[in-house]
């Protein structure tokens, strides 16, 4: 179990609900993933709009925690308005805050993001900001009151994995008390494992599952990958060495002599 905001959860995998071949496939993939939190976009799939009712019924049947997002917003004011609508419709104060600054790589606008985060926190939201791995930006968001950060591994939907592990590891070291969730760019289960091995608290992904040849099987693969990475981090991984070291001592060599050499 781990604590996200004020909620205890068994799974550290968060899953999106977009781009699945069918609603049935979406539901089965989410079940296979064991995810307890799923993201929904008000601008792209509103339960109040035509065609959204079936989607909403599937979502409710999953009995998962909802994390609405402000996808598609480019300004703080737009994101704040969308967040207020999401709170009313989905009955949650959680919001994944997205304020996009560039339409080519969907990189967050750091200035508008901080502005929106400050205002939403004052309005009682638990803000999950989608941000880059820039330490200064992340610190500004924390100073604004964010308890959770969602830095990207790489641009949304790119599948490139962790482009800058050093920056992500730095965030983990410098912000030890902040919940960190890698969001965006995860393309393979091994990418999710790598993020968890760095000490991140969770992983959020969508495209790698929804566009897989078999979304259900891929969702299960990511579930195991996240668990494996977290277990490895908690167990304490061996340090890299510049020289070889035999794992089994020679019969005629006392084991304590081997320990001294290593």
Output the CA torsion sign for 156, 158, 163, 169. Answer: positive
Q: Report the candidate in 62, 87, 86 with the shortest Cα–Cα distance to residue 11.
A: 62
Catalytic residues: 96
Beta strand pairing status for 2-4 and 148-151? unpaired
DSSP H helical ranges for 5-51? 23-33
Q: Are 13 and 33 in contact (CB under 8 A)?
A: yes
Distances (CA, A) of 35 to 8, 63, 237: 13, 11, 26
**For residue 114, how many other CB atoms are within 10 A of its CB?**
21
């Amino acid at each position: 179990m781990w604590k996200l905001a004020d909620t205890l959860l068994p799974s550290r995998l968060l899953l999106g609900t977009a781009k699945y071949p069918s609603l049935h496939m979406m539901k089965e993939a989410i079940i296979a993933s064991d995810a307890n939190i799923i993201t929904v976009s008000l601008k792209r799939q509103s339960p109040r709009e035509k065609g959204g009712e079936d989607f909403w019924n599937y979502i409710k049947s999953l009995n998962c925690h909802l994390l609405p997002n402000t996808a598609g917003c480019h300004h703080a004011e737009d994101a704040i308005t969308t967040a207020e609508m999401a709170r009313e419709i989905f009955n949650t104060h959680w919001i994944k805050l997205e304020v996009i600054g560039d339409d080519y790589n969907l990189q967050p606008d750091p200035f508008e993001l901080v502005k929106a985060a400050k205002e939403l926190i004052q309005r009682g939201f638990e803000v999950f900001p989608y941000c880059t791995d820039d330490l200064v930006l992340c610190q500004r968001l924390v100073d604004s009151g964010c308890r959770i950060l969602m830095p990207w591994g790489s641009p949304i939907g790119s599948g490139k994995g962790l482009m800058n592990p050093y920056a992500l590891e730095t965030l983990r070291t410098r912000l030890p008390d902040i919940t960190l969730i890698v969001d965006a760019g995860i393309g393979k289960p091994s990418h999710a494992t790598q993020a968890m091995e760095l000490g991140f608290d969770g992983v959020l992904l969508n495209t790698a599952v929804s566009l897989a040849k078999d979304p259900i099987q891929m969702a299960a693969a990511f579930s195991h990958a996240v668990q494996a990475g977290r277990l490895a981090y908690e167990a304490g991984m061996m340090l890299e060495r510049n020289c070889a070291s035999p794992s089994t001592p020679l019969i005629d060599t006392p084991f304590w002599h081997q320990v001294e050499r290593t």
